[in-house]
Structure 1
Amino acid sequence: MGILVLIGRILFVILFLGSAVGHLTKTRTMAGYAASKGVPAATAATAASGLLLLAGALSVVLGVWADLGALLLAVFLVPTALIMHRFWQETDPQARQLEMIHFQKDIALAGACLMLLAFFSYVGHDLGLTLTGPLFRIE
């Protein structure tokens, strides 16, 4: 089971690692987009969210308190969906559809992160192929 979960962790975090790199290397560009969506202190928020993504993704993939890493990713995803992808405010049908897709993707990934949090916390040290056990213990 350990190798299958490791492969799953690697595949899962590819999206988040790529996004973290973008947040941290293209901060001005991404901050401009965030500012257009009404995010206050967009440059600082973009850099901080990049660090949050990086910490969460590395935690999950390396298995260092992977449960905490999954929680960090969920903490990023839910506000991002609600702030950045407000499809209900779009009047253009195509823009509305695109924002709805992004909103639903973020919410679905947040759900997956919460399931991983529960899974990693429940399985604990029996998961294998991790550097540490979970930070939380869900019974």
Structure 2
Amino acid sequence: MTPTELAEKLHARDVVLLAGRLLLSLIFVHEGMQLATHFEGAQKAMAALGVGTPLLIATIALQLGAGLSVALGILARLGAIGLGLFCLMTASLFHTNFASQNELLHFEKDLAIAGGMFILALAGSGRLSVDRVLVAMRKGTDGASATADATTTVEPHLSTGVTSLPV
């Protein structure tokens, strides 16, 4: 058995996608929880940076919502795109003082996380995701009554095995 065959048998790709999703989302879920549970302090700190309360609330909602989306694999592609764009904006708005080694490091980390999120958006969440479970449940209830039309071919999606019409 070749390493590729072994990896396919063990579903290594899906396990790695799950681990990557969890690692990438951890920082956003944690930070969103910190901001939400220490809202007054976060509000003061953000005001010092010129960020108002409505944007702080939107940031918390994005970090928690998209972070959980990525972690659980529920619309993970959309969550990953949202968080990737958030990281690019954060880097370009708040971490531009490259004379400070700390700021440069934060800038580079934001770019790296954005890159990981964009790769995840392309790869999808894999088989170990809530989306996959929901599709399987839907196929179970719709599968008995649905018949495939000969003119519309249905192909499995590369990342999740979800069926979709060709574009």
Amino acid aligned to 1:65 = L
1:112 to 111, 116, 129: 116
Q: Does 1:46 align with 2:56?
A: yes
Say whether the 8 Å CA contact 1:64–1:130 is kept in structure 2.
yes
Superposed displacement of residue 116, structure 1: 0.9
Superposed displacement of residue 62, structure 1: 0.8
Superposed displacement of residue 114, structure 1: 0.9
Say whether the 8 Å CA contact 2:24–2:113 is kept in structure 1.
no
The 4+ residue runs of structure 1 with deviation greater than 4 A are none
d(CA) in 1 for partners of 2:29, 2:101? 26
Q: Does 1:27 align with 2:62?
A: no
Say whether the 8 Å CA contact 2:24–2:117 is kept in structure 1.
no
Superposed displacement of residue 113, structure 1: 0.8
- Taking structure 1 as the reference length, the TM-score comes to 0.77
Deviations 1:21-54 (A, max 9, x none): 0121122222222222222x2x221221011011
d(CA) in 2 for partners of 1:8, 1:82? 24
Amino acid aligned to 1:27 = F
Q: For residue 130 of structure 1, what is the aligned residue in structure 2? A: 129
Runs (5+) with no aligned partner, structure 2: 1-12, 133-159
Amino acid aligned to 2:35 = H
Bigger RCO of structures 1 and 2 (CA < 8 A, at least 6 apart): 1
Q: Does 1:10 align with 2:10?
A: no
Amino acid aligned to 1:79 = M
Runs (5+) with no aligned partner, structure 1: none
Bigger helix share = 1
Size of the aligned set, in residue pairs, is: 123
Amino acid aligned to 2:101 = Q
Measured on the aligned residues, the alpha-carbon RMSD in Å equals 2.2
77-86 or 55-64, larger mean C-alpha shift: 77-86
Say whether the 8 Å CA contact 2:32–2:61 is kept in structure 1.
yes
